[in-house]
Amino acid sequence: MSLQPDGKELQELLRQDDLDRGYRLVDSELKQYKKTRDIEEAKTMSWVQDFTISEAEMDAISDPVWAFPNLVVQGHLIAIVAPPNGGKTTICEYVAAQLATSYDVFYVNADIAASDSKRSYQKSKSEGWTLLLPDMVAGKGMSNVVERLDWLNSIDTRYDGQVWIFDTLKKMTNIINKSEAKKLFQCLRGLSTKGMTIILLAHTNKRAESDGRQMYEGTGDLRADIDELIYLHPLKNSDDSMTVSTEPDKVRAVFDPITFEITRDRVVTVKDEFVDAKAEAKYKQLLNTDQEVISSFFHELKGGSKSQKELTDAASENGGHHRKAVIKVLNRYDGDLWLSCKGGENNKKIYSLPPVNGSFIPRRQVTTDITDTTGLTGTSQ
């Protein structure tokens, strides 16, 4: 018995065959079109337009609307990154108070100890900003706040007069999970395009990069999906105050670095002049590392001026330090802890302690715990 297709089945088979041939033809034509287009784009270099900035975008860069000068641009999505206990919460509460005179400010803190929450609550009430403590409300948490942000993003309205500060980013999503982080950033980007100003507080990684640089905690989406990435560099002072300087890393406006001063009572001020706390912290760390060699130099110089060879020989013999390392220390603090001049045999460098009559002005103020520096201008115990 022959199983030939009937008329309808035959028509369907022919139709499918025509479709398949049509698809193959369309696919072939499409490939040829793409090939021609790619060749034309390579010749004309039209693709570079994808990486140019429009006049409107350039105007926005040149003339940002500052919510807080050199830190917060109105309508931008900003990440402020600092090491733990680096002063970011104290500074951002101060910023919230300044912004509250012109904006509706909502500070969402899910990274606060119960002992600090009462102080922050009283500050928010007296300074005019709204404090949200989702983890301290029964049955609520930061995930519920994120749900509300998704809801706000779904509504066809604008949020131009609002500033939201989230402390911290890692409480909002799993920042190590790329897909989860991407979903959050898409929501936040949607809200910022509707005028909302958003500040995300984040931590640096526990370990610095191989070159010593601090890096934000999380995936690369953080840097890719925000407008500004600003690092805070804290420097703890001997009076329990803290100097914190900003380092703009990624920006869509012209930023100048600024410096905050935080007293031991958490009173914040913006300094008139920028202080490079990052450089000062590195210098302080070097001082601690070099203390043994520095003490050797002071011991020798108290007896009078010495040549480089006399100082390096003493440090090498007494402490077993390598000559090249000793010379680096000698040069590093020349003009800070001691002075050098050409003289003596063969016009060699001669080193001496600076005068103690107040006439010596060091290149930079040095604070060290080395007891041998007592009484020296520019140094303190």
Q: What is the mean pLDDT of residues 291-308?
A: 92
Beta bridge partners of 106: 130, 164
DSSP 182-218: HHHHHHHHHHHHTT-EEEEEEEBPSS--TTS---BSS
| Span 340-356, pLDDT tens digits | 988 767 778 899 998 87
Q: What is the mean pLDDT of residues 7-12?
A: 65
**Phi (first) and psi of residue 59, to 5 degrees:** -60, -40
Q: What is the mean pLDDT of residues 46-71?
A: 79
Among residues 103, 67, 273, 78, the alpha carbon closest in space to that of 185 is found at 78
In one-letter notation, the amino acid at residue 249 is D
User: Between 274 and 22, where is the model more confident?
Assistant: 274
What is the band of 369 on the pLDDT scale with cuts at 50, 70, 90? very low
Rounded CA separation 295/28 (Å): 80
Mean pLDDT of the chain, nearest integer = 85
What is the band of 6 on the pLDDT scale with cuts at 50, 70, 90? low
**Phi (first) and psi of residue 112, to 5 degrees:** -130, 140
Q: In this predicted structure, what is the pLDDT of residue 81?
A: 95
Query: Which domains, from first to last, does the chain contain?
Result: 58-274 (3.40.50.300), 290-373 (1.10.10)
Helix (H) or strand (E) holding 108: strand 104-109
What is the band of 257 on the pLDDT scale with cuts at 50, 70, 90? very high
Rounded CA separation 29/136 (Å): 62
Q: What is the mean pLDDT of residues 177-190?
A: 91
Q: In this predicted structure, what is the pLDDT of residue 201?
A: 96
Least confident stretch, 82-86, 202-206, 375-379: 375-379
DSSP 83-104: -TTSSHHHHHHHHHHHHTTTSE
